[in-house]
């Protein structure tokens, strides 16, 4: 049987709605859609790139707590509320993943909560870290 571990980020929604920030099964890590939610609510209101950076920090924390690295990320999915934010959000993604270059999808979506401009998911495979990462 393959071991399954999960980690939360402390957001009340995880327990209330029955999900984990990230789940590791074998050598795969799946990170839930991650927003710029801090202890006091939305981080970087009105700043899509700032929200993306915060979400990516949360994603990295989740992956490392389950034994992976950002270099192990093989897939990301980015959802933006405003299509005009695609470029600054894409640039924030490139700051973290420019050398890793995972597969990626970026789409406009109606996000839950008016102040949320970005939501990001990630998948990692432990031991697959990009050589140039």
Domain locations along the chain: 4-125
Q: pLDDT tens digits for 88-101?
A: 999 999 999 999 99
Q: Is the pLDDT of residue 132 over 60?
A: no
Local confidence band at 13 (pLDDT 50, 70, 90 cut-offs): confident
Using CA atoms in the order 21, 95, 129, 34, what is the torsion angle rounded to 10 degrees? 10
Local confidence band at 131 (pLDDT 50, 70, 90 cut-offs): low
Does residue 97 sit in helix, strand or coil? helix
Per-residue exposure over 18-34, b if at least 16 CB sit within 10 Å of its own CB, e if not: eebbbbbeeebbbbbbb
The yes/no answer on whether domain 4-125 falls in CATH 3.40.640.10 is: no
């Amino acid at each position: 049987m393959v071991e399954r571990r999960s980690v939360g980020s402390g957001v009340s929604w995880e327990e209330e709605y029955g999900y984990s920030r990230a789940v590791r099964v074998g050598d795969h890590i799946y990170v839930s859609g991650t927003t710029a939610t801090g202890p006091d609510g939305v981080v970087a209101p009105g700043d899509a790139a700032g929200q993306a950076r915060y979400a990516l920090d949360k994603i990295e924390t989740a992956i490392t707590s389950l034994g992976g690295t950002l270099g192990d990320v093989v897939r990301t999915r980015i959802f933006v509320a405003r299509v005009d934010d695609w470029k600054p959000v894409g640039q924030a993604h490139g700051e973290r993943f420019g050398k890793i270059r995972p597969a990626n999808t970026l789409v406009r979506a109606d996000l839950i909560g008016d102040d949320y401009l970005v939501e990001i998911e990630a998948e990692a495979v432990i031991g697959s870290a990009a050589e140039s990462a």
